[in-house]
Structure 1
Amino acid sequence: MHVNPRSVANYLSGISSQLEPYFPDVRLRRNGALVKRTMSGCLRRFGTPVIRKRPLNEDDIVLAVNRLGASVVHDDMLFLAMLTTGRDGLLRLGELTMPDAVLRRNSRKIVLRHTVRRLPDHFSFFLPYHKADRFYEGNTVIIQTTNRVSNPRRFFDAYITSRDTLFPLNRELWLRSNGTVPTRGWFIARLKALFPQDVAGQSLRAGGATSLAEAGVPPATIQAIGQWASDAFQIYIRKNPVLLQAMLFGRPAHQRAAQ
């Protein structure tokens, strides 16, 4: 069986956990110089380049709006609301959907309808959990109302009206027409029906971060909005050349005009 060299570290960690009750020093051996050098050589010799999905840009969202914006089908309204809200909110796909595997689902991570607040200039909801939140403290996601074609408020309001009509007593915010919380597989299938194969779930988060960088938003602000840990955000920038370029060249319009 072929194993991707990048997965070897995870395999070794799992093996170490199984052997530790019988061999207490197994983790010391696993982190030894010989093992580390062997893994490093394996990555150099057999490693393959990472194929990264591109960020969703404004033209992509406009394409989705042109195809689905006039639809009165509930699932279409749900998808557009999730797509635009996820991109502008820099949300992970796991924060919008639940896992396909039933055993991995956790009701504590589901966003609830009663936490939604809608004001003229923004709407918000409470995110009970995100990847960097180990203690379920949660935080409020705020999405600004804009004048763009891709304005998330437009699609969120349309979805909420449909959702409250169909399921006025359900507690979950995101609901399909059959009354279930959308899964990752459902969202990805809808995404791939609209866009090429170079777009995936991570494209929402990357697209939102790139859009903010191009608008001249400071990296620290983007990091806070996206709930990245400091070191994770630095790695994310280095591994996403489009975002790095946007941060290098993206400046507010008044700054560009002054030069």
Structure 2
Amino acid sequence: MEHLVHARAVALGHALDRSTQISYSSHLQSYLTFCKIHNFPIEPTADTLSFYTVFMCHHIKPDSVDSYLSGICNQLEHLYPNVRTIRKAPLVTRTLAGCKRLLNTPPCRKQPLALEHLARLLNHFPPSSHDNLLFRSILLSGFFALHRLGELTWPDKVELRSWRKVIKRASVSFYTGAYGYVLPTSKSDATFQSATIIIEEGENDSIQPLTTFKEYLRSRDHIFPFHSALWITTSGAVPTRAWFLAKLRTVFPTSSNIGGHSLRSGGATHFAIVGWPDDRIQALGRWSSDAFKIYIRKHPVVLQALLNNRVVQQL
């Protein structure tokens, strides 16, 4: 029994990803601070949660308050088992709906990268050093495989890093005119079932993912033949998000509205423009069906490209 209790405690501790746990703890702290400021009891009620919703919506985006409430429910559920029922009470849900109508602002999304952006970056970072080869390879792999930047780099916060999420050198395979590797996990794969990523050589003479990847791999295997990770900087460390963005911003500063998510949205836009159906883009990007529909609906550039393609095919 003692062993079972211990094993169950370990399993419960890993029910959420580390980054989610930290976010939920932060959400709980904001709720506790709110209760302390206003002399409310900590035990959740419909009144307390609705007041908290109004208070937070005047400090952060109302859409974010929804996730804050979810985090509070997760953290307090073991103390107050009915907290999720209270969270769904009409007073709370209607208060949040009203705040979204009154206080929501238009979303500010990153501009998708285009082929001309890739060419500009490749010209700025010629294959003259190992770090340049690494950046070039991550750039093209992220674009043509619709990667989230977090799948190719480590988080900036040390406590969020996990070797289980690092792509391994041993997983690399080559095919006729393509290369691939195993992605250990993704945002939609919380149980580490993994996915095999295959990237074909591009049709653009100046943008060749396979050639770029082979150049990087030769440099990597020469310098770090025994390192397990696929992506390695000159210092021998897995590249971080900040490392990649620092290089990206030497060409496209923050004011250009191009960032880490530009890889994923840019790749989706590119494949929509060249004629891929949305279900194929969905499979390549490893989206769940509902998430992909929301992505298409909320990104007019991708939606317009898909619509234009379908019109051309019908003609």
Relative to the length of structure 1, the TM-score reads: 0.93
Q: Does the 8 Å contact 1:216/1:252 carry over to 2? A: no
Following TM superposition, by how much is the alpha carbon of 1:252 offset from its aligned partner in structure 2, in angstroms? 10
Following TM superposition, by how much is the alpha carbon of 1:192 offset from its aligned partner in structure 2, in angstroms? 1.5
1:193 aligns with 2:250: yes
Match of 1:231 in 2: 290
Give the distance between the partners of 1:18 and 1:118, measured in 2 at CA.
46
**1:119-154 C-alpha deviation (Å, 9 max, x unpaired):** 341011111111111221111100001231111112
Give the distance between the partners of 1:100 and 1:164, measured in 2 at CA.
25
Match of 2:119 in 1: 62
Q: Does the 8 Å contact 1:115/1:125 carry over to 2? A: yes
Specify the code of the residue in structure 1 equivalent to 2:270: S
Following TM superposition, by how much is the alpha carbon of 1:13 offset from its aligned partner in structure 2, in angstroms? 2.2
Match of 2:151 in 1: 95
1:111-150 alignment to 2 at 5 Å? 111-148=167-204, 149-150=206-207
1:33-182 alignment to 2 at 5 Å? 33-69=90-126, 71-148=127-204, 149-182=206-239
Following TM superposition, by how much is the alpha carbon of 1:251 offset from its aligned partner in structure 2, in angstroms? 5.7
Match of 1:215 in 2: 274
Give the distance between the partners of 2:310 and 2:81, measured in 1 at CA.
54
Specify the code of the residue in structure 2 equivalent to 1:115: S
Alignment CA distance shift 1:22-1:121 (3 Å): closer
Structure 2, unpaired ranges of 5+: 1-55
1:30 aligns with 2:91: no
Give the distance between the partners of 1:59 and 1:135, measured in 2 at CA.
37
| One of 302, 305, 308 as aligned partner of 1:243 | 302
Structure 1, unpaired ranges of 5+: none
1:205 aligns with 2:264: yes
**1:55-74 C-alpha deviation (Å, 9 max, x unpaired):** 110000010122113x3111
Specify the code of the residue in structure 2 equivalent to 1:190: K
Following TM superposition, by how much is the alpha carbon of 1:12 offset from its aligned partner in structure 2, in angstroms? 1.9
Following TM superposition, by how much is the alpha carbon of 1:186 offset from its aligned partner in structure 2, in angstroms? 1.0
24-33 or 10-19, which moves further after superposition?
10-19
- Say which structure, 1 or 2, has more relative contact order (CA 8 Å, 6+ apart): 1
Is the partner of 2:283 in helix, strand or coil? Answer: helix
Give the distance between the partners of 1:173 and 1:252, measured in 2 at CA.
41
Q: Does the 8 Å contact 1:120/1:145 carry over to 2? A: no
Give the distance between the partners of 2:133 and 2:249, measured in 1 at CA.
17
**1:196-227 C-alpha deviation (Å, 9 max, x unpaired):** 43111111111111111111111111100110
Alignment CA distance shift 1:26-1:211 (3 Å): same
Alignment CA distance shift 1:13-1:244 (3 Å): same
**1:82-121 C-alpha deviation (Å, 9 max, x unpaired):** 0011100111111101111111111111111111112341
Give the distance between the partners of 2:169 and 2:74, measured in 1 at CA.
40
In the alignment of these two chains, the number of paired residues is 255
Relative to the length of structure 2, the TM-score reads: 0.77
Give the distance between the partners of 1:52 and 1:101, measured in 2 at CA.
23
Give the distance between the partners of 2:144 and 2:78, measured in 1 at CA.
47
Give the distance between the partners of 1:16 and 1:167, measured in 2 at CA.
46
More helix by share: 2
Is the partner of 1:51 in helix, strand or coil? Answer: coil
